[in-house]
Amino acid sequence: MAQRSPNKVLIVGDGLAGTLMAWECVKRGLIFEQWSNGSPAASDVAAGMFNPVSFRRILPQWDPANHMARARIAFQGIEKSLGITLWHEVPIIRVFPDAKYADLWEERASGTHEVSPYIETLSAGDLHPSIHAPHGAGLVRESGWVDVQLLTEKSREHWQQKGQWKTQAWCMEDGCPSEFDAVMDCRGVGAVDDLAQFGLELRPNHGEVITVQTELEWGQQTVNNVTWALPLGSGAYRIGSTYRWDMDEPAVLAASLDHLIDQANLVRTGPALVATETTSHRAGLRPSCFDRRPILGQVSARSPWYFACTGWGTRGVSIGPTMVDWTLDAALGLITDVPDEVHPKRFSTFTKN
């Protein structure tokens, strides 16, 4: 399909989604401006982890090979543009919760299951001395994290210097400003009310993470026992995350701090981590959908200039670059529409008006 003439694009939101959208617009030669109302974003507390495996059922994440390959290209390209390091490859040690889980992991790791290429079973001698894993543990090598806070901060500074970023609120009622031809809505939970007009429920999922500075030697691999402890270097670890559906404000809770510390200590030997070693405690609201797929593309025939790109949930680093590609491909006419798995029509309540 022939590409439409590049438009001047308004990107609303400057979290992870808005940031990746801006960089892809640059790559495609599109003129853009980015607006933010300054409200907290889920990206402010994002661990930025990428991982091809869903640990709950020991299955592959959504199309991990393609999504993670695209993510690597996108983030490493931004690294070169900004002269910073964002992409960190760090294996994950999954501590098995019980013998049944251990048996299923071993079965899939040694077989021909679709998750088999991504997982291994470890022996006790393979584990760092600090890890307590009475039922055993497994390894996921193709994992790591992206420094999302550094990404959004440095990108914001970059666009400010170029006069392409400003503090400005926007909602659907404002319409498409006259100086723009399209609006890319990357607001996350800020889009809840506007999307509800079209029968699209974007659910805020409250999460908290902490950062600790400790003299404990916990090794340089992420350890996951539902709660995860991610090594940042020089004795710093990020620990998360909590998940709640009953909060609509990004408030930090003392009980969450205690919970995260306790959970991290469950899979460690020797001296325990204590709450006083906490250097940061943050909360955010992740934008999520009923099926854990984003909302992309046009949602209203009456507003053909409006394109949603939100609802990335907890996997924004892995899927984000592909989601931005699909959204812009649809906006530019390179594809007739976004794929069905992320299309608003999958909502039974959707009313395209």
Question: Does residue 2 have a pLDDT over 60?
Answer: no
Q: In the CATH hierarchy, which fold is given to the domain comprising 204-288?
A: D-Amino Acid Oxidase; Chain A, domain 2 (3.30.9)
Q: What is the pLDDT of the chain when averaged over all its residues?
A: 95
Domain ranges of the chain: 8-47+148-202+290-346, 204-288
Instruction: Judge whether residue 51 has pLDDT over 60.
Output: yes
Give residue 353's pLDDT: 67
* The token pair that represents 155 in the structure block: 């990108």
The pLDDT tens digits of the residues spanning 190-236 come to: 999 999 999 999 999 999 999 999 999 999 999 999 999 999 999 99
Percent of the chain scored above 90 by pLDDT? 94
Which CATH architecture describes the domain 8-47+148-202+290-346? 3-Layer(bba) Sandwich (3.50)
Asked whether the predicted pLDDT for residue 40 surpasses 90, the reply is no
Closest by CA to 64, choosing from 48, 50, 72, 52, is 52
Residue 3: the pLDDT is 43
How many CB atoms within 10 Å of residue 208?
25
Residue 5 is classified by DSSP as P
For residue 72, CA distances in Å to 13, 137, 144 come to 23, 27, 11
Nearest C-alpha neighbor of 312 from the set 270, 342, 346, 274: 342
Q: What is the pLDDT of residues 224-271, one digit of tens each?
A: 999 999 999 999 999 999 999 999 999 999 999 999 999 999 999 999
Banded pLDDT at 52 (limits 50, 70, 90) = very high
Q: Say yes or no to pLDDT of 1 above 60.
A: no
